[in-house]
Amino acid sequence: ANRNSSQPALAAPGLFVTQLLLIIGMAIGVVAALVVLSALAAADHRPRAIASKPGALLGLRGGGGVHDDGVTKPLVVVGSLNVDITIEVERLPKKEETVMASSPCTSVAVGGKGANQAAAAARLATGTGRPAVLVCEFGNDGYAETMRTALQEAGVDVSRCAHSAELPTGQGIVMLTPDGAASSIVVPGANAGWTAERAAALEELVCGASAVLLQREIPEEVNLAVARFACAAGVPVLQDVGGEDRPIDDELLREVAYVCPNETELERLTGMTIGSEAEI
């Protein structure tokens, strides 16, 4: 990655996909499963079994792969875009403690759970003809156009994204320790600027998707509106739990097909200790 101590720069275009894949990790596996399940749904429209635990199968409601006119249905991601600013540290600071970074520079890359999902989906769909469409809010700062270009180079369709006139691009402040563990703080920026009208305008796109992916870094009412459209049209919805730290609305859970938490999020959702595979 290009680094500069006074003015962070994005990773060089040729290194973008590699750096992004390091950030998205688990998202690739999740989206890979979704691509397979979406293909299966095209051949079998029967509801799947309902499960009661977060992270388990909550019931796949239809879905399909091709429109009546023969056009391949897109994977649609509605969600967040962040500028990820990574700081390398030997350890995390304690309360009221200051620690020095282990590197003299920060690294900056495209991030946000929505952008990560879309980039992973685009990479997995290479050669299949299935578009990966991201719907997000770019900010009013200098990062916006750089983010747009990087996503397009990764194969993501950003034609349905908007620009906020009032808010900057969201930011993810990542503290990375030598063991590879990353702790983050998200500054919402333009991700908080979604409106009900903006969500309502997505109905046609969502209803024509093969699957819809959501996260919790945009307002919950937007996720609920999108999930309602999708569920009514028989389009499966995958809800990533990462993002806002509060209980998921029961109404939203009724509209989604899959809930995908990591170990920390699963522990927070259930109130149970998650320290081993058996406990998971």
- Residue 268 is predicted with a pLDDT of 85
pLDDT of residue 66: 54
> What integer pLDDT is reported at residue 71 of this predicted model?
66
pTM over 0.75: no
> Which residues neighbour 10 within 8 Å (Cβ) at sequence distance 6 or greater?
1, 2, 16, 108, 109, 110, 146, 150
- Rounded distance, CA 260 to CA 165, Å? 32
List the chain residues with pLDDT less than 50: 1-63
pLDDT for the residue numbered 222:
96
At 181 the pLDDT is 93
Strand 170-176 with 132-135, pairing? unpaired
